[in-house]
Structure 1
Amino acid sequence: MKQPDPRTTQQIRRDLRYSTRDAMLFSVMVGCGEAYFVAFALAMGMGEALAGLLGSVPLLAGALLQLIGPWAVSRLGSHKRWVVLTAGLQGLSFLPMIIAALMGRMPAWLMFVSVGIYWALNLGGGPAWNTWIGTIVPGPVRAKYFASRSRRAQFMLMVSLIGAGLLLYIGKRHFDGEGQGDAYLKVFAGLFAIAGLARLGSTWCHARVSEPVPMPEGQRKVPISAFLRGPNAVSGGRLLLYMLCLTMCAQVSGPFFAPYMLKALGFDYLVFAGLLCCSFLGRVVAMPLIGRFAKKHGASALLWVGGLGVIPMSAIWVISPSPWFLICVQFTSGVMWASYEMATMLMLLESIPANERTSVLTTQNALNAAMMVVGATCGALLFRVMGEDISAYHALFLTSASLRVGTLILLARVHMPKIAKIRPVVFRTMSLRPQFGGFDRPVVSSIDDADSVTK
């Protein structure tokens, strides 16, 4: 039985305003901070193989903290308290990098620890936030509200990303012109300070939002074994296996596009930011069209479009190093990955009851992070063996594309359920990634509470 909402209309509107501000400030943190972690590591002298791993290995810490999130929520007796705690600490996690940028040095191990803490706190509060936001936004306005919230967050993300790239570009030219070399690292300190303050502002917004139902009833914790072998195993289990294998294959090359652009090709920070923005823009532009395509042709057709479309995306990078050519590649890649993610989330979320979705996605995130680490580690080893030059990058890109072809066998085995009503999922952009456009997590409550009918 659904618990009644004790809030007045005025309180609901106030909650929605602060939730939107939280999304916008979170986007500033991503655009000024997380998007430049790998660039910062390279500027501090980290090797290209290690810098590539920095973009994937720390995510495992976040995935593991997600698994203890339900215990923490239970101890605190509130989803909101856990979200506010993790968000506030995440804002403070920028401090070591700010200090290091001002000092001009940072050991590789400390960089990994700092980014690992960032991701642990970033992803650790995700499941609790998903449950909490479901109690904040009334069902009748969810579709409209989440669409508006997402647009504003996307705008702030692109503005902060390009603005940060422009500041780094100007700072590097200025200090290089004065013969001060690495003095431009202070620009990173400023950007990370902005990112940290933005997250602390986001935390304040969280604190201002009410919690009408601290511990919603009916939420179920589902062991992954039950999902893989239970009544949803045909549609969910095989789909999950395909998703994990494709993640591993893509991550053989995925974390190394940033080092490739900044080191091997020698792009400046403004070009780097522009290319990141293009893949993200591809996702933003494509999402409404993808939703309409799914409604007309079904999620299964969309999955085949995305599953086939992402296969050659890494290999195309070896054709030309021209930024103008890569702009087109990045935009197309963003569209293809958006198609894949929308289709997989539609099928995954619609194949399980509403009160089990957060639990299943939490476990899926942990498995996904593990596959990211496996893929990235294999890529780093191959990169080292191949000599760590531009030909080694090309070998990674071609190998990743070849491995993705093999996932078509798993895709063909996925049972394609007929979804009675297609309701496009709204995503939160947790980070920006070359090739992928972003590392997104679904907002579970953007889908209606009523369980979908599949057959």
Structure 2
Amino acid sequence: MSEASEAERVEGPELRRALRTVTLAWMFGVVWLSAASGSHFRVLARLLGFDNFAFGLLASLPFVATLGQLLAALAIERHGRLKRQFVVCGVAHRLLWLLVAAVPLVLPIPSHTAVVAVLAILTVSWFLQALAIPAWMTWMGALVPRRVRGRYFAARERYALAVQIAAVAAFGIATDAVYEPGSTEARPLVTWTIAGILALGAVLGAVDVLLFLRVPEVRPKGKRGAGDEANNEISPLGLAGRGLGRNDKAPGAPGAGGDEAVGLWRFVFEPLGDRVFRHYVLYAATLTFSMTVAGWFFWLNAIDNLGFSNLGTNVLFLIVSPLASVWAVGRWGSAVDRWGRRPVLMVCTAGASLCLVLWLLASRHMAAPAALVAGLDWAGTRAGGLVGHPEWFHVNASTPVMAYLVAGAACVLGGATWAGINLAQTGIVLGFADGSGQSRHVAASSVLIGTGGVLGGVVGGTLASAFSYLQDDPIRVGPFLWNNWHVTFAVAVVARLSTLAWLVHMPDPGAMSARSLVRYMGTNMYNGIVTRLFYSLRVFGWQQPVKRGETEEEEGEE
């Protein structure tokens, strides 16, 4: 890329074109996201031979790959070529999913070889994504003006959500149409269908990244690539060959030229001397542990235990949760501005813990009112009739209606509270990026937080394997039934609640108390509910009685 095509600032029509391109690109990228994370991938993993421990490793892979962000940060500091780093690594990351799609077509399944092949391919893929993300974040931080950043990314997510809903529905319907649990005759058709979904996602995901070739490269002020032409061609992988540490000592000085391990240690652990950074990293690492310790077991529990369809499961995780997030993100943004990041994190983390409790209570043996079942069957049959398949949405007494409603409430609560968590976390990380150290602090936080994700995946897989006997002999209490996957949910609840201890003492200048935020939210909810309940009485002329003395006094004044 020539220097003429690089700029420190883009304005006017050129900026609007660039932002439209970024929005359009993510509308392709969200199809890849839906293809890479839907229930069909769970079906494919089962066909390949994944056991509980392998699913735990699968959940931990993106966090293992965060080590790549160290290389990415070093590469950005040395050569500063954001577009090249993002496009090359991003396209390779997405196209590797073509190999994942090919595994069940060229290797025997189920087999240990197929499982290892998929895990190895995804490890490389997530590592390449870790190299691309810091470059993209730095690039977008310089391109999108701060005054419109929040509104722009919120609008970008809304446009992409419409595409995501269509993709999730299409993938879920296609999987349900060919997949029959326990059937070996349908296996070839199922394999080809899911491989096609993954291949489509990989191609459209690559289109997402390639569209950024039309976006001008904008670098943050002061980041001109270290000023050396010799450094301008260093790639992240080239830095790996030279050593991860950064040695700033003069040639000939003690320890110069050979203390790379010490340089890496300082790169990662020096920021822990900052109290805010330390408390935030410990909070976020524990929170990430609570997320990955259950990981893919939410999907397994929803389909294999609760009896949800692939489409129904996709709707819960990939439509209901994002919709709740879109609804809540503006409200949490105002709360962060008014009360601060710490109280929002405390309230949202408590809500996300309650979300896990709801998953512990969801059971297919919970009875639903007959009138509710009949009403849903009537609506579902007619909805299915619109596409020529009324049986697709048939509901009867054996349908886990109450379990789905409880799981739906959990996804609504989870989507709403995770929106607040992500927003407050983004504010904290941007605070690190704006201060001294910039990309070093961001990369160090990603690596340290990723450690919690890795441990969560390994611990979750180990627990699910150790308690696998609960699949045949689950714990039963009334209508509730708990198996080995619920063990990981319980551990996640404990871990998530424990994160509040780190937040209590985390410095956040200017922040108000979490209690005042809860009181404000409760007052608003009460006022909103009461207003809606009694508004109809106002329509019919109801009003609060007035004392007789007050009435006579008013008449005298007239």
Three-state SS of the structure 2 residue aligned to 1:125 is: helix
2 CA distance for matches of 1:411 and 1:136? Answer: 32
Query: Of the candidates 277, 295, 301, which is equivalent to residue 236 of structure 1?
Result: 277
Name whichever of 338-347 and 134-143 sits farther off: 134-143
1:65–1:107 Cα change, 3 Å: same
TM-score (norm 2): 0.67
Kindly indicate whether residue 198 of structure 2 is the aligned counterpart of residue 192 of structure 1. Answer: yes
Q: Deviations over 1:413-444 (max 9, x none)?
A: 22232169xxxxxxxxxxxxxxxxxxxxxxxx
Q: Deviations over 1:74-105 (max 9, x none)?
A: 67651100111012112320122221243473
1:340–1:5 Cα change, 3 Å: closer
Kindly indicate whether residue 384 of structure 2 is the aligned counterpart of residue 343 of structure 1. Answer: no
1:359–1:34 Cα change, 3 Å: farther
Query: Of the candidates 266, 277, 287, which is equivalent to residue 246 of structure 1?
Result: 287
Q: How does 1:185-334 map to 2 (within 5 A)?
A: 185-213=191-219, 217=223, 223-229=267-273, 233-276=274-317, 277-321=319-363, 322-334=403-415
Q: Quick one: which amino acid aligns to residue 195 of structure 1?
A: G
Q: Quick one: which amino acid aligns to residue 256 of structure 1?
A: F
Give the aligned partner of residue 90 of structure 2: 87
CA contact (8 A) 2:173 2:311 kept: yes
Three-state SS of the structure 2 residue aligned to 1:107 is: helix
RMSD across aligned positions (CA): 3.0
CA contact (8 A) 1:77 1:215 kept: no
CA contact (8 A) 1:29 1:195 kept: yes
2 CA distance for matches of 1:7 and 1:206? Answer: 15
Could you tell me the percent identity over the aligned residues? 23
1:123–1:391 Cα change, 3 Å: same
1:18–1:285 Cα change, 3 Å: same
Three-state SS of the structure 2 residue aligned to 1:94 is: helix
2 CA distance for matches of 1:266 and 1:289? Answer: 34
Q: Shift in Å at residue 54 of structure 1?
A: 0.9
Give the aligned partner of residue 21 of structure 1: 24
Give the aligned partner of residue 176 of structure 2: 169
Q: Quick one: which amino acid aligns to residue 302 of structure 2?
A: M
Q: How does 1:110-149 map to 2 (within 5 A)?
A: 110-149=117-156
1:33–1:356 Cα change, 3 Å: same
1:364–1:239 Cα change, 3 Å: same
Give the aligned partner of residue 362 of structure 1: 443
1:357–1:419 Cα change, 3 Å: farther
2 CA distance for matches of 1:214 and 1:416? Answer: 26
- Number of residue-to-residue matches in the alignment: 413
Q: Deviations over 1:333-381 (max 9, x none)?
A: 1222222232233234336635744432222112222211112211221
Kindly indicate whether residue 442 of structure 2 is the aligned counterpart of residue 379 of structure 1. Answer: no
Q: Shift in Å at residue 207 of structure 1?
A: 1.4
Mind listing any 5+ residue stretches in structure 2 that lack a counterpart? 1-5, 227-245, 247-265, 364-402, 472-481, 513-558
Q: Shift in Å at residue 48 of structure 1?
A: 3.0
Q: Deviations over 1:215-255 (max 9, x none)?
A: 952899993433221xxx23222122122123223432233
Three-state SS of the structure 1 residue aligned to 2:216 is: coil
1:215–1:22 Cα change, 3 Å: farther
Give the aligned partner of residue 162 of structure 2: 155
Q: Quick one: which amino acid aligns to residue 145 of structure 1?
A: Y
TM-score (norm 1): 0.81
